Amino acid sequence: MSRRTLILAAGVGSGHNSAAQAVERALIAAGDGEVHRLDVLDTTNEVFNKLYDDAYFTLVAEVPWLVGWGYDNQDPPFKLAPVMRWWEQANTISMVREIRDYQPDLVICTHFLPARLASLMIARGKLDATLVVVTTDFDFQGLWLTTPVNQLFVAREETREYLLTLGLPADRVTASGIPVRLEFSTPLDAAAVRAQHGLSADLPVLLISAGAAGGPKTLQIVRQCLSLTQAFQAVVVCGRNEELKAQVDALVADRDDFKVLGFTDQMPQLMRISSLFVGKPGGLSSSECLAAGLPMVIIDPIPGQEERNADVLLEEGAAVRCNYPATVGYKIGKLLDDPQRLARMAANAARIGRPDAAGVVADTSLVLSGPPLWISREAQRMIQRISNEGVEGAEQAGESLKTLFDQQTGLSLALVLESELATLSARAHASAIELTRTGMKALRWQPEYYTLATAAMWLLGDAESMILGVR
């Protein structure tokens, strides 16, 4: 029987869908079964869609500090308010129906909203599938962690180490990088790309991502670049903003060294022949720059995830950040005056780039087997405490997280508190038929986690198929 894979994203910006598409292409290239990709916001009502997408970008433009506060507030895992969970579930009934109708064997999520909903469907026995979560920023934000889940893919080793410190089992977390388009890892005829866009072969190329920077800010950047005395050429990509393209065209009408594009599917090629990228540090655009070995000039990062992305890029020596809008041109000029520094930045970008990330996600997901990882309610609270207070929080509580695992395969099965082991052991020989809501309450499992408690009781008993261990 052919495997059915469902890739779920949410169109909040373009990054989540871009990552989903990259994974889709990698799976198709692997030739393993049927693959379907879905933007979950396309299945929701207009009000929910606008609140989830448009309202976010309105807040970014009008009150960015509030966006940063919200990001930090939701940083600890398992903190989402119950009313928010209810609101999401009430507005995604059509998505749930589509998932059930498709009956996937493997679900890959590149946004936390479908990840939570797919996880809930598995927990309630409405979906029998392997669940994979692929994060799309360099740091891990608490909204991405759900249970049950089979595998988490994160952007970098430090992020993986953070999750292991929280108590996640090592076999459930893979540092893959953020999936980028396959064009970043295919052969490139740089001379042909330059010729296609009318670019000289012997001048550095400045790539300005206008769509990310926004209309007025883009015009300001272009005006400053027009005043630079250094030798360079520029490509300004305006996306689908036709008004902005017309304005930039008017600004550079008498300059042959500026090329202005609308929407283009040539960004991977343009990035690979450019010397410097000017734009915002979104998870996908940053990962694409790294995959291309392209240094960045960071403009106006969104508080929260983009500021953290910027921190990583600066720490690794792959970018500079412009805190003054009026001195972007000055900063670009300084880099153009220092080719050796620019070369070092390019090398740093290439060093941490992961053009193979989509392939890693696809190949690893296709060989996953066995049950998902379950996390008890008390273990969730401990993870949240460690996130807030560090490992000292667990030590002060006099508790520790324990992993239940299959001794035959080494696969982790559940995270529980050490104190819960006694409760589990006391009920180990009870049959699944005798499992009651009263017994479940003693174990403090959420109602939808009956399957986990049943499995744990059998696993700690005399089940012949599996020998359970604790670590």
Whether residue 440 has pLDDT greater than 80: no
Contact 182, 25 (CB under 8 A): yes
Residue 416, classed as helix, strand or coil, is: strand
Within this chain, do residues 39 and 156 fall inside the same structural domain, yes or no? yes
pLDDT per residue over 175-224, tens digit each? 999 999 999 999 999 999 999 999 999 999 999 987 544 678 889 999 99
Whether residue 297 has pLDDT greater than 90: yes
| Domain at 310, CATH number | 3.40.50.2000
pTM of the model: 0.89
Pick from 100, 91, 101: nearest CA to 122: 100
Within this chain, do residues 172 and 283 fall inside the same structural domain, yes or no? no
Within this chain, do residues 50 and 151 fall inside the same structural domain, yes or no? yes
Within this chain, do residues 360 and 263 fall inside the same structural domain, yes or no? no
Within this chain, do residues 196 and 171 fall inside the same structural domain, yes or no? no
Within this chain, do residues 173 and 197 fall inside the same structural domain, yes or no? no
Contact 241, 215 (CB under 8 A): yes
Within this chain, do residues 318 and 443 fall inside the same structural domain, yes or no? no
Strand 401-406, strand 412-417: pairing: antiparallel
Within this chain, do residues 135 and 195 fall inside the same structural domain, yes or no? no
Q: Which of 1-15, 192-206, 231-245 has the lowest mean pLDDT?
A: 1-15
Quote the domain boundaries for residue 25. 1-180+355-369
Within this chain, do residues 429 and 337 fall inside the same structural domain, yes or no? no
For residue 148, cis peptide bond before it (omega within 30 degrees of 0): yes
Q: How many domains does the chain have?
A: 3
Within this chain, do residues 234 and 347 fall inside the same structural domain, yes or no? yes
Within this chain, do residues 4 and 86 fall inside the same structural domain, yes or no? yes
Contacts for 62 with CB less than 8 Å, ≥ 6 apart: none
Within this chain, do residues 226 and 290 fall inside the same structural domain, yes or no? yes
